[in-house]
Structure 1
């Protein structure tokens, strides 16, 4: 595989052109559908993780976990579309389900871990959006963090919840620390894709998919296990 990059034509229309071609990854050397085979096929990891969690959730009354599992599968499909068609519309199909997953999980965490009512839980979850909007430009100024700037605040969110819950729900806290570590690893692979392109022609972005699939399945599992512990606990402890 050639190590040179091919610049894909950019749309010339003013405003957002949803069919504008994008080229932001080491593996892509042209506009062909299968120009990113590793990046495209590694999205199977999301579907496998979704299947595993769907089986683990079978027969359990956890609608938010079911929603998260569905979003996990949609993330894989959206990412596959992006790494094959590589256009603006598919970039949105790739990114928006990830943001939605984060918001739904934070809402579920606020309800299950913090014990908040629906409206406060929703408000606190939505606070993630303006906080990310503020932090993203700051992180974009840092070379290593620039490519994944919008995702790094979620590491802080996992660790913040873990800190708050460390005494009351230590098992959940440990699970969220593990989640923060997994996300840090996956973001590291995402950030090293272009810097290591000369040495690793297929890039490292596909490892972001694989580790991220494990991460998303894991946080659903943390939520599921907490639910099972809550059911098993005496009424006085709930």
Structure 2
């Protein structure tokens, strides 16, 4: 019998609104990350005396992820699923473009090339015979690539940022593992593990945003102190 709702995770047992309470409530991690990032950017923009519009886009996109994920894990509809996955995809594409602008000093007209490059990277990772979602695995490995590029950078002011991306990749790897284990562990753990994915991803989104803001401050000459001393 075909269900009239999307049942992708262990916690959901029927099509009711609160059939995924942990998965729904754990989305607060995204809301907290969005608010914390917004406040940090506002302080930074005031210190720099500049609007920092490109930075404010990050907490706005995190809030959209909060809304999309909340919608999906309560309504269990296909439009909710599209909003959930789509909002995450938009954040990743925007962030990689912003990263190219901040760390490679590229103008927007050239930084956007990073978006199709990341899509090609995602396709490449997706064809590997691994039991993990290609898009998210590409993001984890991509963070390690970014960390490596910064670690081997010849410019000390860029090199010191590699730790942010290495640590974020580690957190994201744990998060992705919890997402992957949700269904296999369903019989032993009926509540599932997807809520861990939400909780840790809020941390991931805040960490990459914080790193971008710190780099922006560095570029603007607002934060000359070494990142490692924070």
1:137-193 CA deviation, whole Å, 9 max, x = no partner?
Answer: 32xx323x2xx2221101121111111111331222111111111111110110011
Q: Does 1:90 align with 2:75?
A: no
Distance 1:111 1:100 in 2: 17
Output the TM-score relative to the length of structure 2. 0.87
Q: Does 1:162 align with 2:150?
A: no
- Residue pairs, 1:63-74, within 5 angstroms: 63-74=53-64
Distance 2:150 2:162 in 1: 6
C-alpha contact 1:71 1:97 (8 A) present in aligned 2: yes
The structure with the largest helix share of the pair is 2
| Structure 1 residue runs of 4 or more that deviate by more than 4 Å after TM superposition | none
- Residue pairs, 1:2-151, within 5 angstroms: 9=3, 21-59=5-43, 60=45, 61-138=51-128, 141-143=129-131, 145=132, 148-151=133-136
Q: Does 1:215 align with 2:204?
A: yes
How many residue pairs get aligned? The number is 213
RMSD: 1.7
The change in CA–CA distance for 1:221 and 1:8 in structure 2 (over 3 A counts) is: farther
- Partner SS, residue 80 of structure 1: helix
C-alpha contact 1:64 1:104 (8 A) present in aligned 2: no
Q: CA deviation at 1:122?
A: 0.3
Distance 1:158 1:73 in 2: 22
Q: 5+ unaligned residues in a row in structure 2: which ranges?
A: 46-50, 225-230
Task: Tell me which moved more, 158-167 or 43-52.
Answer: 158-167
> In structure 2, which of residues 137, 150, 153 is the aligned counterpart of residue 152 of structure 1?
137
Distance 2:171 2:52 in 1: 24
1:172-225 CA deviation, whole Å, 9 max, x = no partner?
Answer: 211111111111111011001111112221100001000000100110000111
The change in CA–CA distance for 1:36 and 1:233 in structure 2 (over 3 A counts) is: closer
